[in-house]
Structure 1
Amino acid sequence: MDISYRECFANGRRALAEGRLDEAVAAFRAAAILRPADAAAHLELATSLRRAGLIEAARQAFTRAIAVSPDGAAAVRARAALGELPPPPVERRNFRVGQRLHSQRQRVFEVVDIRVGGFGVVYIVRNLGDSGTRLALKTFNASYLWSDDDRRRFEREAATWISLQPHRNVVTATSVDLIEGFPCLEMEYVDGGDLSALLAAGPLKAERAVRLGIQFCDGMGHASRQLGLVHRDVKPANCLLTSDGTLKVTDFGLARAFDRPADAAHTGVPAGAAAFVTTVIGTPAYMAPEQFRPGQRLDTRTDIYAFGVMLHQMLTGELLAAGHAPRRQRWWRKREARLARIIGDCTAPRREDRPATFADVRAELEEVFPASAGPAAVPPSAAMLCERAIGQRHLGLHRQALATAEEGLRTVGDGERVMRGHLWQVKGLAHVDLGQYDDAVVAQDKAIELNPDEYSAWVCKGAALEKLSRSSEALACYDRAVELAPDEAYGWRGRASALLRLRRYKDGLVACERAAAIAPNDEEVLYFWAVTLRKLGRQDEALGIVERLLAVSPRYSQGWIEKANLLCVTGRADEAIICADRAAEIAPDDPVVLNNRGITLEKLRRFDEALACYDRVLRNEPDNGVSWHRRGAVLRELGRFEEALDGFARATDLAPREADVWCDRGVTMERLGRYEEALACYDRMAELAPDDGWAWFNRGVTLEKLDRLPEALASLEQAVRTAPDNATAAKARDRVQSKQ
């Protein structure tokens, strides 16, 4: 272990020195796990996390370094570093009974009941836009600090559950939505309580216990056969009952989603350390022996053990002591004795001695009380497939969403025009997610053909056209959406986005204000509003809107980036980097966040760290034009001109209509004395942005260096006409005039 620790520590030091922050974090994280009492490992881990922009993870690791050695030198450094970190984020709070919740899909719910358990919480809500239909929303308990690693695990497990076909004995999970900033799994509402509440009144009669046991086996067998799911937390509380007494199994996979790594509390390491730490998951009274041994591979027989404990509890009202066979009760007859044998087989200490499948257990139970065969899985309806595709989109499963929407289109009847249109809409959105923008426009045209008065179809088409940089056409779509539904925020928000791209900032401001009047807490509306105000030079107002945005949605990374932009514009780059770091903490792999963090670091002249941001993006997205552009700009500042030109060349290949890239490419050519090539870049810039005075200025100065004075004078005069307040251009014009 000592050698492994030293190797991890040395690898971390080397990676940190070379700016390979991901590798440094991984190496020091492993060292901290191998020696949890070593303050130096936690300190170096914290330093790496801080440099990577993972502020809250760094805070935990610095705190742990102090805890393990309060009087050591590492603790002194850790305390100083803690003092330099920005304040912790605003504490998140659970929803309240009676609270109205707004979803990303423009739906409104009212909370009618709350059920909290461990790291998870279930909200029973009424859909206020759907005749008060009740459903259950499952998400994290906000009182616990949860990282993006936790969130990704939750979403991954939720994605598995929503792909499970409906079954009478399984709680149906329909979709995932972002509600008030929380990813929420939407489930059917089951109105009869759960099995634990039923057992609180005492044991059940043998026949009822077996009937419920058979239903449980049917539900678990379905999940196992279809997706190979292992529940890992079978217990009465996860068996819901309908008003007619039907049992439905719930919480598939979420035991893993809400789990914490075994050593997380001791190392200060975020949930991502699970790569090095095996975990123990479950409720101890129902856990099979193998669940207490970290790293064990679990299978259906693990869930069968828990079922045996639960069946014993249903029959006796008592939990089965671990390692003990069920004791014969005085009132037990022959049938109960046979059940005792089944319980004993299910709870055998060795997995090899238990029944292999729930079908085997069901067959044993049927011999005690015959029951009809369990119901087959119900094929999902087109409406359910539509909801599933929406949930998959939210989870980033874009190809699966596209396939699900296509399955829905094969399922839906020809007469169901509205549902068919909705499925085309979702298909179009999935095409956008996959970068297939022309296909997206075709799909949205199909949706509009089927539902021409559906405003959301026009919004979706506008979004696809914006991705194709066809902003004027997109604006026409948003105008139609606003005409159809003037009291819906989506159309106004789309108008704001398109007008921002068209640089019609005053008109865009009107659209933002209309959208905000309808949806005052919509994070995208507030974001576009702030950006538009910044473009109009109204930075103080923009900053106020950003503060409002972050109060509503403190984990909206683009909000932190926009705040960083505003602080940079007002010369407060030291404060801006704190905001950029906060965005990187929330979305550490988001290329937009990393690029903007890099730009802020450039303003602070921390070029090596900025370069590390761009390189990190390009490792995952080698065709990211913004990163190539900014990488070139940093290399130019470092005097590495030939490398900078390579970056600009890649950027202009990827984004040939971005005038700023041509400008930077031209400036670098000038630095190398390659004036003819620089002039070609400025010609292209002037063609793309004829109203940009700097395009004409750069062109004129380069022509002056080539001693082409009449052309230089004409270009500089155009620069002055375009930007009359540009004193530099006026001075250059006068200088060229004096040479003639």
Structure 2
Amino acid sequence: MPILSFSSNDIDVITGKKTRTIRKAWKTPLKKGDRLYCYWNLVSKEKMKIFEALVTDVENISFEEIKDNDELAMQEGFKDSYDMLREFKKMYGGQIAGSDEFQIIYFEKLDIDDWKGDKIDEKAMITKRADILFDSGKFDKSTMCYEAALRLDPDDVYLLNKQGDNLSRLGKFDDAIGCYDKALEFEPDNEYILNNKAIALLNAGRIEEAYKASTIAYNYRPSSPIVLYWRGFILEMLGRYDAALRVYDKLIVIDGENPEVWNARGNLLTDMGMLEEAIQSFDKAVEVCLDDSEMDAGAINRMGNAYIDLGKFDEALECFNKAISLEKHNIDFLLNKGVVLMELGKFEEAVDSFNKVLLRNPDNEDAFFLKEECLENF
């Protein structure tokens, strides 16, 4: 019973794109017609059977012939022969000699009804792998897995929605919208999918259409926090500030312990020129954070900008110091701190802040000219 183990990164195997592999020849080499039992990560806790296959052809080749063969390596999905060699050394514990025999094994995946061993839920297995890759931010690989799962069940609403989310993160908004539209054929009242479609339309620059999708979602679930949050943002993008503020005010009643809600409201109030109210919202966002890891440095920075516009420079400086304590190398925060120090007449400290900006970005013209202005006031 020949067993092959593939790594978690070898996604082409799951999608059916890859139907061959190169392995060190066993004592009893593989031959055409042999049945393969294929697994993910055979020697780890993540061990999982992925399919059975039949060997369709075999080529015998020495390690000397493959170790510098870039073309062969790239056909196998490696960047070059060095990358392939590194993988082989890891696979075989570094125990490879130039005379060692390898095999290029060609195989064909068998339909699950033709398996001789334990059968698996192939769609569930592929979906699980896709979800893990998605949660890890490996969207280029997870989209391949969702695509493979959809080939098994093209009408699965969960998969269509997840593939839409995945494509959105890859910037393929039109394709994502197509996935959401197909999912909505089966569940037209699913507010989460409608909301996801609205976000994709917004990112595609189709703001009026995003608003229409958001309205449908809102009509189905007018108290959904996620629908309200994005509805407020879309209204803001449309310049309908008063309507957006009413949405955020409704959202605060429902989800008032969420700092992102208060941040969004503060941003809107800043754009509306309602600076005192904006500061109150930003302040509330900080207050409801459970710990510093949840604090939004960007929101604190915007609070500082609002204080500057109100002429409250000491309060602004306190905000910028807090934001910098959370993101100590953020150039925008350091630059803003320098500006407010200049307003307070603390030119030497301002120069120090501008120097930190220039250390990170020597071509920052704002920091350079503001520093020169400070030096003239010493």
CA distance in 2, matches of 1:458, 1:445: 9
Alignment of 1:591-740 (within 5 A): 593-605=296-308, 606-618=315-327, 627-639=330-342, 640=350, 643-644=353-354, 647=357, 665=364, 667-668=366-367, 671=370
CA distance in 1, matches of 2:320, 2:292: 15
Q: Which residue of 2 aligns with 1:150?
A: none
Pick aligned residue for 2:287 from 585, 592, 596 = 585
SS at match of 2:205: coil
Q: CA 1:552/1:447 → structure 2, altered by over 3 Å: closer, same or farther?
A: farther
Cα deviations across residues 426-483 of structure 1 (Å, max 9, x unaligned)? 3233223xxx333333343343333322222232233334334444443443334334
Q: Which residue of 1 aligns with 2:125?
A: 420
Q: Which residue of 2 aligns with 1:448?
A: 150
| 1:599 Cα deviation after fit | 0.9
CA distance in 1, matches of 2:361, 2:237: 24
SS at match of 1:520: coil
CA distance in 1, matches of 2:277, 2:171: 33
Identity of aligned residues (%): 21
Letter in 1 for 2:244: A
Q: CA 1:408/1:560 → structure 2, altered by over 3 Å: closer, same or farther?
A: farther
CA distance in 1, matches of 2:172, 2:339: 33
| 1:649 Cα deviation after fit | 8.4
| 1:555 Cα deviation after fit | 1.8
Letter in 2 for 1:529: R
CA distance in 2, matches of 1:604, 1:558: 20
Letter in 2 for 1:600: M
Q: Is the CA contact (8 Å cut-off) linking 2:50 and 2:125 kept in structure 1?
A: no
Q: Which residue of 1 aligns with 2:134?
A: 429
Q: CA 1:645/1:508 → structure 2, altered by over 3 Å: closer, same or farther?
A: farther
Cα deviations across residues 683-730 of structure 1 (Å, max 9, x unaligned)? xxxxxxxxxxxxxxxxxxxxxxxxxxxxxxxxxxxxxxxxxxxxxxxx
Q: Is the CA contact (8 Å cut-off) linking 1:595 and 1:613 kept in structure 2?
A: no
Q: Which residue of 2 aligns with 1:570?
A: 272
Unaligned runs of 5+ residues in structure 2 are 1-43, 52-111, 113-117, 309-314, 343-349, 373-378
Pick aligned residue for 2:198 from 496, 504, 514 = 496
Moved more, 414-423 or 637-646: 637-646
Q: CA 1:438/1:574 → structure 2, altered by over 3 Å: closer, same or farther?
A: same
Q: Is the CA contact (8 Å cut-off) linking 1:546 and 1:563 kept in structure 2?
A: yes
Q: Which residue of 2 aligns with 1:547?
A: 249
Q: CA 1:465/1:500 → structure 2, altered by over 3 Å: closer, same or farther?
A: same
Q: Is the CA contact (8 Å cut-off) linking 1:492 and 1:512 kept in structure 2?
A: yes
Q: Is the CA contact (8 Å cut-off) linking 1:635 and 1:644 kept in structure 2?
A: yes
Q: CA 1:448/1:629 → structure 2, altered by over 3 Å: closer, same or farther?
A: farther
Q: Is the CA contact (8 Å cut-off) linking 2:167 and 2:175 kept in structure 1?
A: yes
Letter in 1 for 2:243: E
SS at match of 2:292: coil
Q: Which residue of 1 aligns with 2:64?
A: none
Q: Is the CA contact (8 Å cut-off) linking 1:428 and 1:444 kept in structure 2?
A: no
Q: Does 1:507 align with 2:216?
A: no
Aligned length: 251
How much is the aligned-residue C-alpha RMSD, in angstroms? 3.7
Q: CA 1:466/1:472 → structure 2, altered by over 3 Å: closer, same or farther?
A: same
Q: Does 1:466 align with 2:162?
A: no
| 1:548 Cα deviation after fit | 1.6
SS at match of 1:492: helix
Q: TM-score, structure 1 length as denominator?
A: 0.30
| 1:416 Cα deviation after fit | 1.7
Letter in 2 for 1:585: E
Cα deviations across residues 288-330 of structure 1 (Å, max 9, x unaligned)? xxxxxxxxxxxxxxxxxxxxxxxxxxxxxxxxxxxxxxxxxxx
| 1:494 Cα deviation after fit | 1.2
Alignment of 1:125-204 (within 5 A): none
Letter in 1 for 2:218: A
| 1:546 Cα deviation after fit | 0.9
Q: Which residue of 1 aligns with 2:239?
A: 537
Q: Is the CA contact (8 Å cut-off) linking 2:130 and 2:143 kept in structure 1?
A: no
